[in-house]
Amino acid sequence: MTVLLFVGVIASLISGTYPLLSAGTGHAHEGPIVKGRVDPAQLAATPFAKPGLVVDRAGQPVMNDRGTLDAYLVAGGFTFQPAVLRVPAGVPVTLHVTATDVVHGFQVTGTNVNVEILPGHVASLTVTFRHPGEQHVICNEYCGAGHHNMITRFIVEAPTETP
């Protein structure tokens, strides 16, 4: 049985069919992001170059073709970028998260949002924060001496009224 498992893993690695940390199958990225992967040395050529919520020129969040907002987050150097992310309550947000250096964890405390972030991989997950308030994100995978400082915050804002 162990041999069969080993052969299956090797075949999957050789064929490139092993699972990636991306729930967003069918999501097409521009540039160096290909099928849930990104070159950490080339982040400047990707949406990860401007971590945060994708906004238009007026600073308003942009809804993608799947009906969610997109937010890009980068873990590395014992920090998350951006340090604070503002998102509207009740609106689905697709979080695209990658790491630049070592394996990190990404856990939104008090929720079931919890993924492992690997350098070179993009973890994409869609969440809806139902109520205004503050959500804390921690790294729950030991990543080195500064691991205990690795936190960020999501400020969940009440939806704005449109006239």
**pLDDT per position in the chain (163 positions), as tens?**
777 666 666 655 554 444 433 333 333 333 344 458 888 888 889 999 999 999 999 989 999 999 999 999 999 999 999 999 999 999 999 999 999 999 999 999 988 999 999 999 999 999 999 999 999 999 999 999 999 999 999 999 997 765 4
Instruction: Give the pLDDT confidence score for residue 13 in this predicted structure.
Output: 54
CA atoms in the 13 A half-sphere facing the CB of 122: 26
* Pair 159, 129: CB distance under 8 Å: no
CATH 3.60.15.10, applies to 20-157? no
Q: How many helices (H) and strands (E) does the chain have?
A: 1, 10
Instruction: Report domain extents, the chain.
Output: 20-157
> What pLDDT is recorded for position 22?
36
Give residue 11's pLDDT.
Answer: 58
What is the pairing mode between strands 114-117 and 52-53?
Answer: unpaired
Residue partners of 49: CB distance under 8 A and separation at least 6: 43
Beta carbons of 108 and 154 less than 8 angstroms apart = yes
**pTM for the complete prediction?**
0.76
CA distance 26 to 30: 13
Percent helix, strand, coil in the chain (nearest 5)? 15, 40, 45
The pLDDT of residue 160 is 73
pLDDT at 4: 65
The upper half-sphere exposure of residue 64, i.e. CA atoms within 13 Å in the direction of its Cβ, equals 16
